[in-house]
């Protein structure tokens, strides 16, 4: 048994004996329980903690590393001059404790549009790639009951439904990695209390006081609601109740999807009779949202009004485009496929992922992956695949050398190549929120 493993076993024994202060014992049990729950789902054995230097992530690192071998990773977003010093603070702390630490960098100042959302996606993408390269199967995030309550208030302001008000999930899959939040039931004050008892400091992010951000506004609103007995803890409990109701809806959705939905060549194919008779309005809406997001690879669903229009008129409007997809309605099936125009200008070098697909086979100079399109359709001639609809094939991945079509695996022209989907499972799209 290693020294780290022996220390963890000794700590577990101390927890069982009651030798650890109750407030620390509850946090340690939460950390250990979260990891034990994850174990059957891990595709790689190692664990990591995303650490910004703030109190929540520092506490997550301290608590998890007390029981399990972990690595730490910090992402310097490049958005504030203090960010480099904060990453160095985490690096020094980890070095003193013998914890492997990596700092990743992102040029956040070059981002366009919603900066906070761009930063969130960059964090998932960069840390996810780092974790895969390190053989890490799961990354812990330090979100607390306070974050859950703030998220609830922000989504309430956006008139979210049950799926949104059910809060952040305890775990989710993204970028080929499992992400988990072991302390969603604990408050920020509880985590800070643990750090203070251990004599461990943290860094206060000045943006936490900047009211330009919705989360800061929600935090201040939560403080104003405290005289009514509405706190992070009470809202987290409410979110938990809603999450249980959400699980019931998700169970129904998954059950109906298994019975009436199949995947074919990257398309979502829905049995039209089952969709008409078996799906109520809510499960129908969620299924269409999930299908559009899975096929398009979009992070968010389309506007609710556009999806409602699909649900109200799909029997009479048999071909439409929405969210980078085409919705084709036949007598027997509703097929959601990629819109060819949405990928018409997308080209990547051979070997790279193209719109959720990867073409595999022998390398050759000048090969690129792009949509089959109308030009590829002409070059296929009569040898094209007959079992798939033309819209599906036009938007399918093809291998080009200049203007010459080399391979179109889904369309019947293989030439020693094959196309493989590298998207998350459709089940993940069904249950994401």
Q: How far apart are CA 306 and CA 322, in angstroms?
A: 8
280 is an annotated ligand-binding site residue: no
Residue with token string 């203070």: 196
55 is an annotated ligand-binding site residue: yes
Structure-block tokens of residue 133 = 């390269």
166 is an annotated ligand-binding site residue: no
Query: What own/partner pairs with CB < 8 Å and gap ≥ 24 does 414-421 have?
Result: 415/361, 416/361, 416/362, 417/359, 417/360, 417/361, 417/362, 418/359, 418/360, 418/361, 419/357, 419/358, 419/359, 419/360, 420/357, 420/358, 420/359, 420/360, 421/266, 421/356, 421/357
Residue 399 near residue 368, CB atoms below 8 Å = yes
Nearest CA to 194 among 376, 308, 24, 318? 24
Nearest CA to 74 among 137, 141, 134, 28? 141
167 is an annotated ligand-binding site residue: no
146 is an annotated ligand-binding site residue: no
319 is an annotated ligand-binding site residue: no
Q: How far apart are CA 413 and CA 390, in angstroms?
A: 15
Q: How far apart are the first and last CA of the chain?
A: 41
By three-state DSSP, how is residue 169 classified? coil
Nearest CA to 330 among 264, 270, 265? 270
Residue 266 near residue 339, CB atoms below 8 Å = no
**Torsion angle in degrees (nearest 10) through CA of 169, 170, 172, 175:** 110
Structure-block tokens of residue 348 = 């990547």
Structure-block tokens of residue 247 = 């699980």
Binding site, residues?
52-57
Binding site for ATP, residues?
52-57
């Amino acid at each position: 048994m290693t020294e780290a493993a022996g220390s963890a076993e000794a700590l577990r024994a101390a927890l069982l004996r009651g030798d650890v202060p109750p407030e620390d014992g509850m946090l340690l049990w939460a950390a250990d329980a979260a990891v034990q729950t994850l174990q059957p789902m891990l595709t790689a054995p190692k664990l990591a903690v995303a650490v910004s230097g703030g109190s929540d992530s520092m506490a997550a690192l301290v608590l998890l590393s007390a029981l399990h071998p972990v690595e730490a990773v910090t992402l310097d977003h490049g958005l504030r001059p203090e960010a480099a010093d904060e990453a160095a603070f985490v690096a020094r702390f980890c070095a003193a404790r013998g914890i492997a630490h990596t700092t990743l960098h992102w040029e956040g100042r070059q981002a366009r549009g919603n900066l906070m959302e761009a930063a969130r996606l960059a964090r998932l993408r960069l840390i996810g790639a780092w974790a895969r390269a390190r053989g890490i199967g799961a990354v812990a995030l330090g979100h607390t009951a306070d974050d859950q309550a703030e998220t609830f208030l922000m989504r309430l302001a956006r008139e979210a439904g049950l799926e949104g008000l059910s809060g952040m999930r305890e775990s989710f899959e993204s970028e080929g990695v499992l992400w988990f939040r072991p302390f969603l039931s604990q408050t920020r004050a509880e985590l800070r209390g643990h750090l203070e008892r251990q004599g461990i400091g943290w860094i206060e992010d000045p943006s936490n006081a900047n009211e330009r951000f919705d989360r800061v506004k929600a935090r201040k609103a939560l403080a104003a609601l405290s005289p009514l007995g509405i706190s992070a803890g009470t809202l987290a409990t409410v979110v938990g109740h809603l999450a249980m109701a959400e699980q019931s809806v998700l169970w129904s959705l998954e059950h109906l999807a298994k019975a009436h939905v199949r995947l074919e060549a990257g398309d979502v194919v829905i049995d039209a009779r089952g969709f008409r008779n078996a799906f109520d309005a809510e499960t129908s809406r969620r299924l269409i949202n999930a299908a559009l997001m899975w096929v398009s690879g979009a992070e968010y669903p389309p506007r609710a009004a556009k999806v409602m229009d699909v649900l109200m008129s799909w029997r009479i409007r048999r071909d439409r485009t929405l969210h980078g997809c085409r919705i084709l309605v036949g007598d027997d099936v509703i097929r959601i496929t990629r819109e060819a125009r949405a990928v018409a200008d997308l080209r990547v070098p051979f070997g790279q992922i193209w719109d959720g697909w990867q073409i595999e086979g022998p390398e050759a100079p000048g090969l690129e992956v792009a949509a089959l399109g109308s030009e590829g359709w002409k070059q296929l001639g009569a040898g094209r695949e007959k079992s798939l609809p033309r819209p599906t094939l036009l938007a399918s991945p093809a291998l080009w050398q200049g203007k010459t079509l080399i391979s179109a695996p889904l369309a019947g022209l293989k030439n020693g190549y094959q196309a493989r989907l590298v998207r998350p499972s459709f089940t993940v799209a069904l249950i994401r929120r």
